[in-house]
Amino acid sequence: MSKMTDKLDVMAYLERINYKGPCEPNIDCLRQLHVAHLTSVPFENLSIHCGEGIVLDLLLVYDKVVRRHRGGFCYELNRLFAWLLEQLGFHVILISASVFHLYTRRYGPPEDHMLLLVTLSSGLHVLADVGFGSGFRLPLFLEDGRRDAQVNGTFRLRLDSAMWLMEQLNFTGMEPNTPGCVPKNGDVWVPRFKFNLTEKCWGDFSAMSIYQQVSPASLCCCKSLCSKHLPNGAITYMGWRVISTIYEDGKARKTTRQILEEEIPAFLKDTFGFTLPNKLIPRDEPIQENCSNQHPLQH
């Protein structure tokens, strides 16, 4: 173990995600860890909106998530989760995805999102993702067309030429004529992101990490948000809104209420369990579309 990683504690991480199950590198353990992580660690970008820079450094991410009980975005959470899985004996590689953005109805640039491809001892490949916010709750087997009904929706992976598409059935707010959607017999499969299986290193995401923090075409830059899965729903803070979601009978029922700026720090503490180091500047602005599909190095 390196001098860097010997400062990271597996047991403290497991305690942070309230995981008390077995730690064997198999699919049952992976599924339990995945759910534990999503229901304990929020997807959040509040560092961007409180003057706290995001640096892709494993010690810093560990300190933020495990010791300070914060969350993070995909480049932070999935990389840290990959480290945990590796320590428990799983074979994991990082891969990149382009997200189908619900606001712009277009795919984002390469390295827009970071995913984990886990190979089990049986040789089966499984997609894991604890850094997408509203994505699948349980890992998905890398199998073309396989439907996976979960608490928060039905998902599938579909192979299209050299690209894999992660799609969600009848996702809220999307119509059959939305570009990229696949309507069939009354159902609408909505694209969430697309990816290939090329292995990436963490440094490959550095430019996109900066882009997400500063670009007016980035959701993370335009909207201050924090979201966490609940056993039968989700709770999301965005700008000056709190969105509560309950999953019932395969449908999502959402309610929204306004929150005053002075109420936000207490809400974050009570709901997500953390206090920000600096004053939060709430933000909920439209996302610019004209550069959403360009790579940040082209700007």
User: Does 119 fall in a domain?
Assistant: no
Those residues with Cβ within 8 angstroms of residue 131's Cβ, 6 or more apart along the chain or in another chain: 43, 72, 73, 74, 75, 76, 77, 78, 81, 113, 114
Q: What is the pLDDT of residue 248?
A: 87
pLDDT digits (tens, 9 = 90+) for 19-68: 999 999 999 999 999 999 999 999 999 999 999 989 999 999 999 999 99
Determine whether 291 is an active site residue.
no
Q: Which residue in the list 29, 34, 74, 221 is annotated as catalytic?
A: 74
Tokens representing residue 2 in the block: 């390196």
User: Does 253 fall in a domain?
Assistant: yes
Task: Return the CATH number at 228.
Answer: 3.30.1120
User: Does 33 fall in a domain?
Assistant: no
User: Does 232 fall in a domain?
Assistant: yes
User: Does 224 fall in a domain?
Assistant: yes
User: Does 277 fall in a domain?
Assistant: yes
Q: Which residue in the list 34, 37, 113, 229 is annotated as catalytic?
A: 113
- Given a cut of 70, is residue 122 above it in pLDDT? yes
pLDDT digits (tens, 9 = 90+) for 202-260: 999 999 999 999 999 999 999 999 999 999 999 999 999 999 999 987 788 999 999 99
Q: Which domain holds residue 252?
A: 218-298
Determine whether 226 is an active site residue.
no
User: Does 291 fall in a domain?
Assistant: yes
Q: What is the pLDDT of residue 185?
A: 53
Q: What is the pLDDT of residue 36?
A: 98
Query: Could you give the number of structural domains in the chain?
Result: 1
What three-state secondary structure class fits 7?
Answer: helix
Q: Which residue in the list 29, 37, 129, 220 is annotated as catalytic?
A: 129
User: Does 286 fall in a domain?
Assistant: yes
What three-state secondary structure class fits 52?
Answer: coil
Q: How confident is the model at residue 104 (pLDDT cuts 50, 70, 90)?
A: confident
Whole-model pTM over 0.75: yes
Mean pLDDT over the full length of the chain: 91
Determine whether 63 is an active site residue.
no
Q: In what order do the strands lie in the sheet with 233-238?
A: 43-44, 225-230, 233-238, 241-248, 251-258
